[in-house]
Amino acid sequence: MKVRLAVIDYSSCKPKKCSYECISVCPVNRGGKAIAIDADKVSRGQPTIFEDTCIGCGLCVKACPFEAIFIVNLPTELEEEAVHRYGVNRFKLYRLPIPKDGLVVGIIGRNGSGKTTAIRILAGEIKPNLGDSSRTRDWDEIIRRFRGSELQVYFKLLSVGKLRVVHKIQHVDIVPRRVKGTVGELLLKADERGLARDIASYLGLDKLWDRRVENLSGGELQKLLVAATLCKDANVYIFDEPSSFLDVRERVRVAKLIRSEAKPGKFILVVEHDLAILDYISDNIHVIYGEPGVYGIVSLPYSTRSGINFFLDGYLPAENIRLWKESIKFRVHSDHVTVDEGKLAKLISWTKLKVSLGDFKLIVEPGEVWRSQVIGIAGPNGIGKTTFVKTIIGDIKPIEGTIISFIERDIRVGYKPQYVNPEMLPENVTVLDILRAVNPEAVTPGSWLYVELTKKLKLDKILDRDARSLSGGELQKLVLAVALAKDADIYLLDEPSAYLDVEERLGVARIVRRLVETRSVAAFIVEHDIMIADLISDKLMVFTGEPSIEGIAYPPESVKSGMNKLLSTLAITMRRDPDSGRPRVNKEGSYLDRMQKAKQEYYW
């Protein structure tokens, strides 16, 4: 027995421009109720599918020229676990993550799969309607629905006000529009535990104490929100993507701070796309799977190691669900990287470079790059990584040193900048227009570039969308596709994983490697996600120094020695998972952590 879940993507549906009358393609009957379009809903662009009469033939899905309709068959038994639905033909969530007393519960899943909805329900910001959007449920019904589970006790305490919840939101960029004042004023206002100055000092916010919120960077806003959340005296702390905009050092620091709050009487939930940080911070995890924008299903809880490995393998055994066909395996990097000059050709090299930008100085040690190589770039924020990238492409001229090209013509560059905003794009153009202008093959169905880039980044579903109307993740993927679609010799990608979920990050890593090897070109990747940097890189450039004052860039070296150098400055150690080969952060003070530090093997 199946239940049909019909969802319309209202952002894609354009009934006024559509030449179809959807009702005519439904085989139920010519006057049937599979799809109804009334004047009021057409004016708002919201046709309605009647799921009780839909037989799931898929004709309306194929006929819709905007790919706005999804018909999904789900087992009837799953309906008993429906938690919330936003409305008729809109997203539906099944099950919820289970908060654990004294533990950190991690949550991973694709963008649009219901992670934020789930944590907003657990925060008490959304009252679950148990799958029926036409009814408002009272707390007695909700508690009865979860009887016999840990959620019954949780919701009972929440309903009577015995749980105080603090929620760190996902989109930090809205903060300057909502609150005004200095960092110090806001932290002291939020401080209920007398910890504001200690937390600010630990996160480096004491140096920004008198700076106004509207003048903070994305990373500084993130740290401010984490600090303000932990200053509250609460029972439940919820963090939605606490590592975005932060560099490796700050991610680990924030993770340690959040972990330190895992005590009896405290519930902590963390949504995170950086798997290395999620692994470090969590005691167990839930995977949310399904069709983004259509439905999401929360898995049973897994131990952190097993859950992440199952996720990378693409198969959840407890649910008997295959997430994707290809499992993700990580390469084990050796200490020494040799280049076969008979197979690879040198592309560029540089002498010792000195770059000056106002009060900031960058020194780059001599190095070289060969074709078919991906060079990872790692280091803290404000240390000169983006400055180096801009020096390579010629936007910044060094005051000393020379960049040497080993090809006769000018080097062609595909560049993806660090910060992406809609104003970068021309007005009144679609995604299709932009990609076609860069490379027609990127929008030619059947071409290698269309299959490898446009389809795998799922841009084929939004080709007719206005480019300036895209979400942060969609815009990130478009700008990334524009850079990679160019016929270039060097690709410079500055933080390509920002705004992307775990699956998209892993997909981008595979796309970049495939393009670099197929085209026999090179790529520089500035990346703060250690796991992605490990997966994608052939060599690593490590940046050290004092942020905003002086940076030192070391030449490309083996990933193992480069990571060892980077992690030694952070005083953290990492090991390899024996099954997936992925790097894992050791808990501070653990046996492996102490042993590796004694051996000076920070990246084992």
Burial class (CB in 10 A: 0-12, 13-18, 19+), 74: middle
Same domain flag for 117 and 57? no
- Establish if 456 belongs to a structural domain: yes
For residues 38-53, one letter each, b for 16 or more C-beta atoms within 10 angstroms of the residue's C-beta and e for the rest, the string is eeeeeeebbbbbbbee
Which of 453, 485, 517 is the last residue in one of the domains?
A: 485
| Closest of 465, 473, 463 to residue 436, by C-alpha | 463
Same domain flag for 294 and 187? yes
What is the mean predicted confidence (pLDDT) over 59-68? Answer: 75
pLDDT at 469 over 70: yes
| Closest of 539, 229, 495, 530 to residue 368, by C-alpha | 539
What is the mean predicted confidence (pLDDT) over 406-419? Answer: 83
Domain with residue 193: its CATH number is 3.40.50.300
What is the mean predicted confidence (pLDDT) over 161-180? Answer: 88
Report which of residues 220 and 14 the model is more confident about.
220
Predicted confidence at residue 336, as pLDDT, reads 45
Predicted confidence at residue 337, as pLDDT, reads 47
Which of 297, 322, 347 is the last residue in one of the domains?
A: 322
Predicted confidence at residue 456, as pLDDT, reads 84
Residue 332: CB atoms within 10 A of its CB come to 10
Same domain flag for 71 and 127? no
Lowest mean pLDDT among 14-23, 319-328, 582-591, 595-604: 14-23
What is the mean predicted confidence (pLDDT) over 396-422? Answer: 85
* Structure tokens that stand for 556 in this block: 């490309």
358-372: per-residue pLDDT in tens? 889 999 999 999 999
Same domain flag for 93 and 60? no
Residues of the chain above pLDDT 70, percent: 90
Domain with residue 55: its CATH number is 3.30.70.20
Same domain flag for 159 and 95? yes
What is the mean predicted confidence (pLDDT) over 175-201? Answer: 92
The rounded distance, in Å, linking the Cα atoms of 396 and 390 is 6
> Which of 4-13, 87-96, 185-194 reaches the highest mean pLDDT?
185-194
pLDDT at 245 over 70: yes
Query: Which run of H or E residues covers position 48?
Result: strand 48-49
What is the mean predicted confidence (pLDDT) over 508-516? Answer: 89
Backbone angles phi, psi at 430, to 5 degrees: -95, 170
Report which of residues 469 and 266 the model is more confident about.
266
What is the mean predicted confidence (pLDDT) over 89-104? Answer: 93
What is the mean predicted confidence (pLDDT) over 292-318? Answer: 92
> Which of 155-164, 379-388, 416-425 reaches the highest mean pLDDT?
155-164
> Are 368 and 379 contacting, i.e. CB atoms less than 8 angstroms apart?
no
pLDDT at 1 over 50: no
What is the mean predicted confidence (pLDDT) over 531-537? Answer: 89
* Structure tokens that stand for 253 in this block: 């620091």
What is the mean predicted confidence (pLDDT) over 170-179? Answer: 83
Predicted confidence at residue 327, as pLDDT, reads 82
| Closest of 420, 496, 499 to residue 171, by C-alpha | 499
The rounded distance, in Å, linking the Cα atoms of 597 and 249 is 17
Lowest mean pLDDT among 31-45, 121-135, 315-329, 558-572: 31-45
pLDDT at 496 over 50: yes
Confidence of residue 310 (pLDDT cuts 50, 70, 90): very high
> Which of 2-11, 93-102, 209-218, 465-474 reaches the highest mean pLDDT?
93-102
Same domain flag for 168 and 305? yes
Same domain flag for 15 and 95? no
Report which of residues 26 and 308 the model is more confident about.
308
Report which of residues 237 and 393 the model is more confident about.
237
> Which of 120-124, 241-245, 498-502, 585-589 reaches the highest mean pLDDT?
120-124
- Establish if 390 belongs to a structural domain: no
Give the mean pLDDT of the chain.
86
Give me the helix-helix angle, 559-570 and 248-259, nearest 10°: 50
| Closest of 372, 368, 419 to residue 219, by C-alpha | 419
- Establish if 186 belongs to a structural domain: yes
What is the mean predicted confidence (pLDDT) over 529-554? Answer: 90
What is the domain count for the chain? 3
pLDDT at 184 over 70: yes
pLDDT at 163 over 80: yes
Backbone angles phi, psi at 223, to 5 degrees: -65, -35
The rounded distance, in Å, linking the Cα atoms of 9 and 317 is 31
pLDDT at 300 over 90: yes
- Establish if 254 belongs to a structural domain: yes
Q: Which domain holds residue 38?
A: 2-75
Same domain flag for 165 and 307? yes
Same domain flag for 63 and 183? no
What is the mean predicted confidence (pLDDT) over 429-449? Answer: 90
Which of 301, 322, 343 is the last residue in one of the domains?
A: 322
- Establish if 552 belongs to a structural domain: no
Q: How far is C-alpha 437 from the geometric centre of its chain's CA atoms?
A: 28
Same domain flag for 142 and 88? yes
Residue 552's region, left for phi above 0, alpha for psi from -120 to 50, else beta, is beta
Residues of the chain above pLDDT 90, percent: 47
7-52: per-residue pLDDT in tens? 777 666 666 666 655 555 665 554 556 666 544 554 455 667 777 7
Same domain flag for 193 and 308? yes
In DSSP notation, 109-176 reads E-TTSSHHHHHHHHTTSS---TT-TT----HHHHHHHTTTSHHHHHHHHHHTT---EEEE-S-GGGHH
pLDDT at 344 over 80: no
- Establish if 421 belongs to a structural domain: no
For residue 130, what are the CA distances in angstroms to 86, 87, 197? Answer: 10, 12, 43
- Establish if 414 belongs to a structural domain: no
Bridge partners of 493? 416, 525
Same domain flag for 145 and 268? yes
- Establish if 535 belongs to a structural domain: no
